[in-house]
Amino acid sequence: MALTPRYWQMVTLTSAGQRKIKAMPVAKRWCQIHLDNLESTDDSDRTSDDKKVQTYLWQRWQAGEQESSIALLCLRCWLSHQIAAICSQLASQFGQRYGFTTAELLPLVLDDDGRVTLTYQPLSVSILERYDPSQAALNTWASRVTKAHPEINRFCLERGLYRISDWALLNDTSVGRLARALPGLSTAALKQKETLLTAYHQVYRRDRIIQRQQSGRASRCLAPTDAQLLEISPGSPPGVVLQQLSELASQLREHRIAVRRGMPMTRSLDATIDNQPYLQVADPSPSEAEAESGAAQDEFVQRYRAHFLASLDEAIAAVARSYATGYEKRQPSKGKLFLSALDLFHCRGLSMGAIAQKIGLSSQVQVTRLLKLKRFRTEVCAHWFNQLKQQVKADALQFIAPARLSTITKQLEAVLTEETEAVMSEAAAEAQVSKNRQAKSKFAQRLCARLPSVLSAVKASP
């Protein structure tokens, strides 16, 4: 079988972020020994040959044999080409309209350093760990996972691109969410939208269930047919109904982009659920209720705002300390290097390349791996959310009945999730600014205020 060199050549990035093909001699030798003897398919089709090779490599890796890591390396090499091609496809499809290039996408997902022994999990391995050869071809699965990568989605959302079809968006939106997603509509206009979406769900979801039962798998959400449009709104021409659905999808898309980019919320702790305050005060005597409820609500909100920042400070300090301590255990002074790099990036606004020169690393890629900014923010957010949730619930019990708190717990947690994630989205967007970056995000400002004390604690530890 004639083998493509993609099984022993990996697409990597240079320290300057440029694409580079890196040869893997150990993978090439292994392929020549184990794969050359595989028989080609009868039709000599390249796709079929690739599938046979990939199945063989995947099975060798899954078996956990002595050379399973080399079989995995061959698959990682092949996947690096797929990931790069998917980035090029996205840039070709959307880049001109939304203002981005392939070079901007590659660092988000092309993260394999080519080492046989893994020290972290690159995207290629994540793709393989969740791959089932009986369900899809590897290139199809790689495309699906790469396009759904959180960093790709975040990058696209920051540029106003929400990659979901109108029909999938409508199918995924509950009627009950319309009022929150379209707050400017009159009662009559909202009712029309709700009626339209309800009819769409009844027809479209029914037909998708039938289709799935017949084919045994889910398919993409395609545009509704004329027959479906007539059933959705029997008294209207199909073209008119299609236009109405498209307009509704466009409005919902704008709302989702705003929410995912961390724009102002459509709900807050000062707002209401079902026309009742989130923190409706437990009724005292009738003569006191009116006077005290407003004061209690104000007091709770003031406490919440104080906890919001204090728990963020505590989360930043705890996670930064944890990272620094972990680095110090592995290599003395590396924890201090990590904290210094955090300061240079978030507080001084230096680029990764400039930071590398400042702290004595050889490339900006090494700085990226040292900081792990995305993972760092995720861990801070999780720690922050858990602390804030406990504090808010404890405070709430001073103002409302336990039964009321139990009723609104899910809504309360949803609001806290939105508010904490909005801060992190703002920080992520700020981190993408490569030049003249200033610490304007709430996350960066609180981080810069806490770093000196964290550094002092790390220096003082044995």
Greatest Cα-to-Cα distance within the chain, rounded to the nearest angstrom: 90
Residue showing tokens 């972290």? 120
Per-residue pLDDT tens digits for 6-21: 999 999 988 777 889 9
Q: Which residue has the higher pLDDT, 274 or 325?
A: 325
Contacts of 309-312 with CB under 8 Å at 24 or more apart are 309/446, 311/384, 311/387, 311/388, 311/391, 312/380, 312/384, 312/423, 312/442, 312/443, 312/446
Tokens in use for 232?
């959705």
- Residue 282: pLDDT band (50, 70, 90) is very low
For the cut 60, the answer to whether the pLDDT of residue 123 exceeds it is: yes
For the cut 50, the answer to whether the pLDDT of residue 189 exceeds it is: yes
Query: What is the model's pLDDT at position 79?
Result: 97
The residue among 455, 212, 439, 441 whose CA lies nearest residue 327 is 455
Residue showing tokens 């309209």? 97
- C-alpha to C-alpha distances, 112 to 14, 221, 319, nearest whole angstrom: 12, 33, 25
Residue 57 in 3-state DSSP? Answer: helix
Query: What is the model's pLDDT at position 246?
Result: 86
Range of weakest confidence among 5-14, 143-152, 293-302: 293-302
Residue 9 in 3-state DSSP? Answer: strand
Query: What is the model's pLDDT at position 261?
Result: 55
Task: Quickly count: other Cβ atoms within 10 Å of residue 460's Cβ.
Answer: 7
Query: What is the model's pLDDT at position 443?
Result: 92
Mean pLDDT of 452-458: 87
In angstroms, the CA 24 to CA 186 distance is 63
Query: What is the model's pLDDT at position 291?
Result: 33
Mean pLDDT of 83-100: 90
For the cut 90, the answer to whether the pLDDT of residue 233 exceeds it is: yes
- C-alpha to C-alpha distances, 229 to 12, 35, 198, 211, 221, nearest whole angstrom: 48, 53, 13, 17, 15
The residue among 199, 115, 109 whose CA lies nearest residue 154 is 109
Chain mean pLDDT for the chain: 82
Paired residues of 10 in beta bridges? 22
Tokens in use for 223?
């545009």
- Residue 84: pLDDT band (50, 70, 90) is very high
Dihedral angle, C-alpha 70, 72, 78, 81, nearest 10 °: -110
Mean pLDDT of 381-394: 86
Residue type, 55: T
% residues pLDDT > 70 (the chain): 85
Query: What is the model's pLDDT at position 390?
Result: 85
Paired residues of 416 in beta bridges? none
% residues pLDDT > 90 (the chain): 31
CA atoms within 13 A on the CB side of 407: 12
Query: What is the model's pLDDT at position 3?
Result: 80
Q: Which residue has the higher pLDDT, 24 or 135?
A: 24
Query: What is the model's pLDDT at position 426?
Result: 85
For the cut 80, the answer to whether the pLDDT of residue 29 exceeds it is: yes
Question: Which contiguous run of DSSP H or E holds residue 22?
Answer: strand 19-23
Q: Which residue has the higher pLDDT, 395 or 319?
A: 319
In angstroms, the CA 446 to CA 317 distance is 10
Q: Is the pTM here over 0.85, yes or no?
A: no
